[in-house]
């Protein structure tokens, strides 16, 4: 079964959160991600939040590095190296 993940580094936040969450199913992943968004990022659990989070689900495992927006690497903001 393919692992699924959500990488919080892709989700712009003021805290520069670097958490990545993975699970075997969309449902498990969504539940944990919603709890994380609510407890850490002070989002409100709502159908809109859930559909936004669903859009962040990727197949596979989280990459080791994701460039945060504005990282001082000389790479233009928004460009990823993978
Ligand atoms: Zn986070």
Q: 43-71 pLDDT, tens per residue?
A: 999 999 999 999 999 999 988 877 655 55
Strand order in the sheet with 4-7: 20-23, 4-7, 58-59
On whether residue 74 sits in a domain, the answer given is no
Compare 3 and 71 and report the one with higher pLDDT. 3
Interval between CA 28 and ligand 1 midpoint (Å): 16
On whether residue 81 sits in a domain, the answer given is no
Interval between CA 73 and ligand 1 midpoint (Å): 22
From the list 3, 47, 11, the residue with the least C-alpha distance to 28 is 3
Helix, strand, coil shares of the chain, percent, nearest 5, are 35, 10, 55
pTM: 0.74
Domain range spanning residue 30? 4-59
Residues within 5 Å of ion ligand 1 by Cβ? 8, 17, 19
| Both tokens assigned to 47 | 């159908």
On whether residue 37 sits in a domain, the answer given is yes
- Cβ distance 51 to 75 under 8 Å? no
What's the whole-number average pLDDT of the chain? 84
On whether residue 68 sits in a domain, the answer given is no
């Amino acid at each position: 079964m393919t692992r699924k993940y959500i990488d919080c580094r892709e989700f712009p936040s003021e805290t520069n959160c670097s958490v990545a969450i993975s699970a075997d199913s969309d449902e498990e992943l969504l539940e944990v991600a919603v709890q994380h968004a609510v407890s850490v990022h002070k989002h409100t659990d709502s159908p809109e939040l859930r559909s936004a989070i669903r859009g962040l689900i990727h197949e596979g495992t989280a990459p080791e590095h994701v460039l945060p927006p504005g990282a001082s690497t000389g790479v233009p903001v928004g460009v990823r190296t993978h």
